[in-house]
């Protein structure tokens, strides 16, 4: 089954995908882009300016990256896409090389999203993530796992978050309409905090069970 997760940055898609990915690989385009930037690949160099300013990376760059990833052997039985597509043009491009079976649209209040993103801290050494409120490190500014320095990414500061959300909202409606017209879209209430992740996962499981029955019928 090929699953697409939609929703603004910080809505909890990645957290839920980590739970759902026990059977299917979780493909986060955000993580893939950050890795490419960190390694200084050609794609990473092209994408860096867009990511740092909170803008969307051009369709052709992201689509090329996703096409290459879903063609790998571990995606043969399906995958969970997180962060792509973000536009209706990307959705049409995706449909050319991978059929989508279910689309989960995560919803949460603006205030909740800003709090989630601005509170994140990432280890410079091992990449582990923490949250100053929900999952703080034992020692402020120090990674529990490797002792590395924790920092706030440039795209997780309040001003950049607002820009990311503005861009997302501007691009989102045509994409939602596209998948609604395809009868693939289901809304997920993602306003619960991390301690109630089970309530979000339960909604997702219910939708995917229905989608699975439709596919096999």
The Cα-based distances of 33 to 39, 43, 165, 195 in angstroms read 10, 8, 18, 28
Catalytic residue among 34, 116, 121, 164: 164
Catalytic residue among 34, 116, 120, 121: 120
**104 vs 60: CA distance, rounded Å:** 24
Q: Residue 118, Cα to own-chain centre: how many angstroms?
A: 16
Rounded (5°) CA angle 3-97-37? 75
Catalytic residue among 34, 86, 116, 121: 86
Identify which of 55, 4, 5, 6 has the alpha carbon closest to the alpha carbon of residue 33.
55
Is 92 one of the annotated active-site residues of the chain? no
Catalytic residue among 55, 153, 157, 180: 153
Q: What's the full length of the chain, in residues?
A: 217
**97 vs 99: CA distance, rounded Å:** 7
Is 164 one of the annotated active-site residues of the chain? yes
**11 vs 113: CA distance, rounded Å:** 6
Q: Are 1 and 78 in contact (CB under 8 A)?
A: yes
Rounded (5°) CA angle 149-14-2? 145
Catalytic residue among 13, 34, 116, 121: 13
Active-site residue list: 13, 86, 120, 153, 164
């Amino acid at each position: 089954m090929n699953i697409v997760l939609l929703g603004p940055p910080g809505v909890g898609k990645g957290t839920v995908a980590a739970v759902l990915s026990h059977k299917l690989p979780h493909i986060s385009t955000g993580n893939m882009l950050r890795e490419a930037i960190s390694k200084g690949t050609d794609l990473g160099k092209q994408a860096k300016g867009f990511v740092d300013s909170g803008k969307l990376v051009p369709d052709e760059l992201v689509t090329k990256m996703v096409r290459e990833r879903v063609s790998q052997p571990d995606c043969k039985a399906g995958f969970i896409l997180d962060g792509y597509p973000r536009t209706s043009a990307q959705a049409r491009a995706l449909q050319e090389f991978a059929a989508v079976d279910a689309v989960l649209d995560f919803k949460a209040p603006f205030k909740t999203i800003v709090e989630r993103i601005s509170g994140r801290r990432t280890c410079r050494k091992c990449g582990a993530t923490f949250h100053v409120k929900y999952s703080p490190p034992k020692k402020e500014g120090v990674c529990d796992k490797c002792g590395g320095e924790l920092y706030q990414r440039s795209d997780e500061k309040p001003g950049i978050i607002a820009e990311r959300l503005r861009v997302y909202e501007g691009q989102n409606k045509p994409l939602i309409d596209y998948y609604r017209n395809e009868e693939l879209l289901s809304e997920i209430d993602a306003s619960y905090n991390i301690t109630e992740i089970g309530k979000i996962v339960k909604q997702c499981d219910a939708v995917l069970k229905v989608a699975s029955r439709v596919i096999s019928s």
